[in-house]
Each structure stands twice: as C-alpha cells, then as structure tokens.
C-alpha cells in the first residue's frame, strides 16, 4: 500500500498561517510570493510534514536570507538609464576673498602777489602785498570683497566600451530576473523533495 505524500499545498490547506513567520522586503508582495511558492511546489513532497515545524522553519529560513532578499530588492529598485554606462556627479564651491586699500597724499602751493604802480611809472613797480596759500590734501580708502559660487556638475553617457545595443540586450536579459522566482527557487530547494 502506497503512503500519501504531503505537499506544501496540503500543509497550507491544513494551516493557512503556514507563512506568517516568513518575512520579505517591503517591496515584495507577500501574497504573490506565497501563491508562487504553492503553485511551483506542485505535487512535490515536503521535507517537514509537521505544519508547526514547517511554519517555524520557514520563518527561520527567511530571517537567514533576509539580507540577500533586501539586496535583491534594492538592486531591482535602482533607477538608471540602461543605455548609459558612465555617471559621475561632482559638487564644488569656489570662494574669492580680496582686500584693497590705498592712501593718496598731495601738497599744493600757490603764491599770489599783488602789485600796484602809477599809470606812467614804467618799470618801477611797488609791491603792496602778497598772499601765499599752502595746502595739503590727504585721502584714504579701503574695500573688502567676498565672492562665492557653488557649482554642481554631472557627466553621464556611454564611454564607448560597450555599445548601446549590448547594453540594451543586457537590460532585456535583466527583465527576466524575477525576485519572486528567485525566492521561490530557494524555498523549494530547502523544503521540498523534487522527485518527478
């Protein structure tokens, strides 16, 4: 008499909280993942037929693999241009400081002589008085200047080591990489006996 095999679907039908301890990254839809695991496990016999122990084992398994799941989820969430293989960002600040100062000093001398003579005196002149003006001018100035400029720069594009067509093909290949399938593969490897 052949013994009945217990499958993942059979265990889940006995206890629909089977995956309650199984943790996934926030971006992964857990019901979708559970359904994928159940569908892919098909008629394969489970390694642990006790529902309570399977529930515990699934929870511990997901804890151990959580860092890997998070890396996968974060990598798939990155935003990038699939046809660019170079992207550099720079920030820099330029500052100019300057001081200028100067002093100007000058001296002016001016002499004025007033002479008075008779109308027909000829060259015989009489000096009546003179004024002498002596002056000094001085001025100084100083100025201070501060200039600052902040620049952001980004250089990106294809540096030519890979053609745009090759990068596009890589992007299409990456589209086949599915986090639900990868996590399901791990679960099935650890918890079912894949005998056809």
Quote the strand ranges of the chain, DSSP E. Answer: 45-46, 86-116, 126-157, 192-193
pLDDT digits (tens, 9 = 90+) for 130-188: 555 455 555 566 666 667 778 787 777 666 677 778 878 888 888 888 999 999 999 99
Full domain range(s) for residue 65: 8-85+162-193
pLDDT digits (tens, 9 = 90+) for 10-49: 999 999 999 999 999 999 999 999 999 999 998 999 999 9
Q: Does any domain span residue 53?
A: yes
Rounded distance, CA 99 to CA 35, Å? 74
Question: Are the C-beta atoms of 182 and 72 separated by less than 8 Å?
Answer: yes
pLDDT band, residue 2 (cuts 50/70/90)? very low
User: Are 56 and 106 part of one and the same domain?
Assistant: no
User: Two tokens at 56?
Assistant: 């515990």
Residue linked to tokens 């001296």 = 107
Do 135 and 176 reside in the same domain of the chain? no
The model's pTM: 0.61
Provide the pLDDT for residue 142. 64
Q: Are residues 106 and 143 in the same domain?
A: yes
**What's the pLDDT score for residue 89?**
75
In angstroms, rounded to a whole number, what is the distance separating the alpha carbons of residues 39 and 67? 25
CA-CA distance, 59 to 133, in Å (whole number)? Answer: 105
- Over its C-alpha atoms, the chain yields an Rg (Å, rounded) of 46
Which residue's entry shows tokens 């997901």?
62
Q: Which of 106, 112, 179 is nearest to 138 (CA)?
A: 106
Regarding whether 183 and 137 lie in a shared domain, the answer is no
In the three-class reduction of DSSP (H, G, I as helix; E, B as strand; rest coil), residue 7 is classed as: strand
Same domain, 28 and 70: yes
Same domain, 97 and 142: yes
Q: Is residue 27 part of a domain?
A: yes
* Pair (127, 170) in one structural domain: no
Domain membership of residue 175 (yes or no) is: yes
Residue at 155 is within a domain: no
| pLDDT, tens digit, 9 for 90 and up, residues 92-112 | 777 776 666 655 555 555 555
Count of structural domains, the chain: 2
Query: Are 68 and 98 found together in one domain?
Result: no
| Tokens linked to 139 | 């001025």
Residue 15 forms part of a structural domain: yes
**Residue found by looking up tokens 């990489």 in the block:** 177
Q: Are residues 48 and 77 in the same domain?
A: yes
133, part of any domain: yes
Q: Does 3 fall in a domain?
A: no
- DSSP-derived 3-state class of residue 84: coil
């Amino acid at each position: 008499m052949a013994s009945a095999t217990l499958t993942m679907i059979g265990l889940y039908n006995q206890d629909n909280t089977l995956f309650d301890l199984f943790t996934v990254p926030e971006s992964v839809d857990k019901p979708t993942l559970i359904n994928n695991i159940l569908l892919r496990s098909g008629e394969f016999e489970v390694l642990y037929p006790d529902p309570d122990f399977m529930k515990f084992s699934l929870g511990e398994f997901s804890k151990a693999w959580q860092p890997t799941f998070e890396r996968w989820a974060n990598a798939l969430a990155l935003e990038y241009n699939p046809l660019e293989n170079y992207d550099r960002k720079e920030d820099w600040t330029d500052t100019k400081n300057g001081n200028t100062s100067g002093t100007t000093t000058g001296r002016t001398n001016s002499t004025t002589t007033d002479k008075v003579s008779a109308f027909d005196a000829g060259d015989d002149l009489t000096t009546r008085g003179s004024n002498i003006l002596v002056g000094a001018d001085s001025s100084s100035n100083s100025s201070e200047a501060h200039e600052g400029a902040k620049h952001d720069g980004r250089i990106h594009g294809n540096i030519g080591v890979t053609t745009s067509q090759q990068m596009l093909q890589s992007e299409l290949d990456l589209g086949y990489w599915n986090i639900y399938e990868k996590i399901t593969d791990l679960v099935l490897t650890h918890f079912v006996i894949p005998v056809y």
